[in-house]
């Protein structure tokens, strides 16, 4: 998708600038040509030498460079690109963009361009929440600038936590790929898709719970891909690490019973994708108070089975979606177990993967899956979770439209 695409990467002066080295590398791996402009402040965090070594191109920093500007280089740079990506987009850089300032090479290129612009904001949570920043972002969106992130998490400042972390390189890459995926917008137009994602937390007492290692990255990527394909998307998510995808209605839940209730409340849909790693069991009688160590040994926990969300929806008599897709996270005999699960649950497809610790899939950014259907097994190559999501969404669209052979 990115082969021969020309990306102009404008690196702002924030601690997240180091992530742009990974972003540039991943863009190059996918066949894109990457040129970089660094602000003066960006040079305090990464060097032109390191950026240039990864892009394989000269790095531009100076508006008044005699060599580059003899042919009005800032105009050429801004218009030879297919997409301008600003990362990290600091509060200062966003403000200068919103007000049309052009006092260095980066802002001059942004003002002179006639090409699309994508920004990845990164700043302290209070700066992100400040009314001035909110106005600037709103103005940029009104001007047609696309925004990815920011995420919530720990800040560089000690003890600071909140919304303001720059989106991860893979998230920015997914936004870039979505920009160039010209046909995606029509694949699921007029369709309603439900996706579940993340783990569930089953309480033991007010401070302890049973859970698993699911990050929610794959389920959230599927929801984002379905939205990019034009669908109306409802995402029912347990406590996931992944940021809520833009343009998607997100319902946050904790337990399996909460998730089932939210799913049933949002039927009917054309297709449902159950990517959540739902806990199989819960404590029969969770304590209302914290369980104390009293020297008498570990407490006895009686477990009961949680509701089977996939099976419940697959066997729904009146509101069963036309296409029901389940996930199977296995550590052995992956395809065999997935085939058995598809029959037991009554769903149409199972997306199976090996989540053994050595694979790094659980919580990682890549995935290797097998699509198990009534017709057989499709072994998909290893890919990023965003790429797996787009492939799955394309298959769902083909199935719903009747065009898949």
Binding site residue list = 280, 290, 307-310, 327, 341, 345
C-alpha–C-alpha distance, residues 127 and 133, integer Å: 7
Q: In 3-state terms, the chain is what percent helix, strand and coil (to 5)?
A: 35, 25, 40
> DSSP characters for 152-164?
EEE-SSTT-EEEE
Give the residue ranges of the annotated binding site for CTP: 280, 290, 307-310, 327, 341, 345
C-alpha–C-alpha distance, residues 108 and 63, integer Å: 8
Under 8 Å CB-to-CB from 155, ≥6 apart: which residues? 124, 125, 161, 162, 164, 165
Could you identify the residue written with the tokens 């492939």? 391
Q: Which of 151, 212, 266, 367 is catalytic?
A: 212
Helix, strand, or coil (residue 43) = helix
C-alpha–C-alpha distance, residues 246 and 273, integer Å: 18
Please say if 212 is a catalytic residue.
yes
Helix, strand, or coil (residue 119) = strand
Residues designated as active site: 212
């Amino acid at each position: 998708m990115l082969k021969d695409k020309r990306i102009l990467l404008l690196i702002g002066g924030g601690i997240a600038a180091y992530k742009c080295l990974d972003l540039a590398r991943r863009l190059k791996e996918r066949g894109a040509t990457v040129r970089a402009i660094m602000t003066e402040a960006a040079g305090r965090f990464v060097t032109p030498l390191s950026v240039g070594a990864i892009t394989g191109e000269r790095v531009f920093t100076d508006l008044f460079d005699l060599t580059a500007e003899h042919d009005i280089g800032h105009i050429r740079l801004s218009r030879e690109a297919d997409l301008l990506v600003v990362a990290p987009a600091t509060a200062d850089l966003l403000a200068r963009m919103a007000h049309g300032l052009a006092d260095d090479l980066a802002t001059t290129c942004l003002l002179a361009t006639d090409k699309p612009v994508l920004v990845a904001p990164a700043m302290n949570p209070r700066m992100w929440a400040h009314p001035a920043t909110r106005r600037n972002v709103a103005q940029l969106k009104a001007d047609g600038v696309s925004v990815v992130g920011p995420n919530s998490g720990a800040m560089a400042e000690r003890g600071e936590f909140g919304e303001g972390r720059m989106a991860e390189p893979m998230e920015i890459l997914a936004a870039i790929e979505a920009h160039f995926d010209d046909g995606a917008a029509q694949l699921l137009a007029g369709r309603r898709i439900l996706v579940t994602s993340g783990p569930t937390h089953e309480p033991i007492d007010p401070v302890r719970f049973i859970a698993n290692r699911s990050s929610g990255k794959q389920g959230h990527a599927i929801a984002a891909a379905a939205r990019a394909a034009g669908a109306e998307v409802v995402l029912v998510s347990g406590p996931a690490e992944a940021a809520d995808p833009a343009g998607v209605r997100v319902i946050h839940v904790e337990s399996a019973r909460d998730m089932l209730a939210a799913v049933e409340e949002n039927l009917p849909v054309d297709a449902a994708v159950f990517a959540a790693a739902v806990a199989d069991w819960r404590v029969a009688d969770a304590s209302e108070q914290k369980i104390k160590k009293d020297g008498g040994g570990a407490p006895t926990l009686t477990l009961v089975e949680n509701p089977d969300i996939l099976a419940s929806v697959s066997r729904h008599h009146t509101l069963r979606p036309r296409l029901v897709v389940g996930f199977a996270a296995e550590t052995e005999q992956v395809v065999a177990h997935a085939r058995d699960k598809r029959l037991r649950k009554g769903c149409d497809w199972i997306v199976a993967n090996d989540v053994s610790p050595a694979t790094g899939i659980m919580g990682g950014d890549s995935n290797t899956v097998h699509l198990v259907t009534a017709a057989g097994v499709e072994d998909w190559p290893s890919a990023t979770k965003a790429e797996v999501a787009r492939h799955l969404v394309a298959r769902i669209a083909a199935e719903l439209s009747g065009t898949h052979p």
